[in-house]
Structure 1
């Protein structure tokens, strides 16, 4: 098999000793009657998608988690790529693909690195059927941050979505998205706080010194109560980054800010909401009492 290129004819395969059984069961794709592709020769996952794309019908586009990854969201490439095809009487089924029937307009398909993929708004809508709200918001934030969607394009796509599966969740989550969110953990923390009884946090909060100069920014926070929230990812362990973080945190504390730091072990709604609530209470925030029902006269 070594002398064979990634794309070869059946005659080449037989000359190399491959039988029909090998071609049926191995990592091969028959592109046409006399053309075969060996997928394990792909350079990387994206190259594998390019090879697969040559065997797809015209108008096909990678979708769902595959599209989200191509568009720069944090999702890993699924083991089986997802593909959207125009509805037809019989959808082609293959063991190495997950095929979805989609009636896509030209605006719903974009080209990414030479691959056709569903657009940011279409991908957001598709994933709304399979992702929980916190993760959907994280994906939406990433799509906005990468420039693959805007609030206007999302509203336009969801307005013509009809009653497709996931559209209710998509419409509920779309107003919560922020292009200023810099990471998935930051998006999750923001969603949990927004979804709680606590005040909605601000994103990328500027920290001012006593002269009114911006000396730092925090991932999330509440300027009114001078409370700041930071997520510490692995990159913060770098020696230079660690020193810069210490400098930022010192500036924040010196000007009267309370800083809450979270890491991967704290990424759950209960921990985040509980600690932020306690910190807000310590800074003077008080929950709004419920309005008592009016008794009939």
Structure 2
């Protein structure tokens, strides 16, 4: 700003103290909160907005909930208002631009992400358990595992300490279903619906081998015993190169006797079509439900 280094974000007070005029602030700054500005020179991403808010928040504050999940790569819509987690003893003026959560957190419940304080993977999963339906919670947990922010041991350790925390029952029910091998949100949804049905739990990233035992393809989900595979077809499968690879992959699967079920976005409204089609496929391959 005319030779005055203010950085990607700044407060009104710090800019004025540096000699910036009111008009310069109005011309350069994008106001994201009372007295807080993001420079027009940077993209107003969630990370940049959180970095800006860190200037005004106390050192004990951290970003959590959906904000932490999105920053760590979870498949959620970017929140319009960042969620800030504060300890119970801290009195901070309410700001309508922020969502506040009050939590008693230990050192293991908070970590660093790109230079800002963010709740850990296990803490983020627990906080979201009260707000998300189970299939979405599993998708978030899978993504956190896939990104290296969550593991089974650390999650169990956090849930043991949770006691009567809101959402802990759902978190404990969904925790055993998490799998870091899942490659997408739709895959997680399909696996959740199958795992909570009366069908056998599916395997993830099922290897398909040729006659020499070499792995030539992987199915998103499947049942090796009955040679049934499930694939989710996202938009990327319509791209020319991906379509060609899929043709070869599906041909290899069929040659080796695999029965392939393909699902798309219109199947994600609920479990019925996924579970029923998978049930019929398994029955055709010799699976029989437990008579009990």
Same fold (TM over 0.5): yes
- Residue aligned with 1:229, SS: strand
Distance in 1, matches of 2:69 and 2:197, equals 27
Q: Which residue does the alignment assign to 2:290?
A: 288
1:274 positional shift? 1.1
Distance in 1, matches of 2:25 and 2:140, equals 46
1:210 positional shift? 3.1
Tell me, yes or no, if the aligned pair for 2:110 and 2:120 is still in contact at 8 Å.
yes
Tell me, yes or no, if the aligned pair for 1:91 and 1:101 is still in contact at 8 Å.
no
- After the TM superposition, which residues 122-271 of structure 1 pair with which residues of structure 2 at under 5 Å, given as runs? 122-267=123-268, 268-271=270-273
Distance in 2, matches of 1:15 and 1:182, equals 49
Alpha-carbon distance change, 28 to 65 in structure 1, aligned in 2, over 3 angstroms: closer
Structure 2 gaps, min length 5: none
Scaled by the length of structure 1, the TM-score of the pair is 0.88
1:153 positional shift? 0.4
Query: Which is higher, the Rg of structure 1 or of structure 2?
Result: 1
**Bigger CA drift: 36-45 or 109-118?**
36-45
Q: Which residue does the alignment assign to 2:275?
A: 273
- After the TM superposition, which residues 74-85 of structure 1 pair with which residues of structure 2 at under 5 Å, given as runs? 74-85=75-86
Q: Which residue does the alignment assign to 1:121?
A: 122
Q: Which residue does the alignment assign to 1:43?
A: 43
Alpha-carbon distance change, 89 to 66 in structure 1, aligned in 2, over 3 angstroms: closer
Structure 1 gaps, min length 5: 31-35, 291-297
Q: Which residue does the alignment assign to 1:73?
A: 74
1:92 positional shift? 2.8
1:90 positional shift? 4.0
Alpha-carbon distance change, 48 to 286 in structure 1, aligned in 2, over 3 angstroms: same
Tell me, yes or no, if the aligned pair for 2:207 and 2:215 is still in contact at 8 Å.
yes
Alpha-carbon distance change, 15 to 179 in structure 1, aligned in 2, over 3 angstroms: closer
Distance in 2, matches of 1:158 and 1:265, equals 34
Distance in 1, matches of 2:212 and 2:32, equals 67
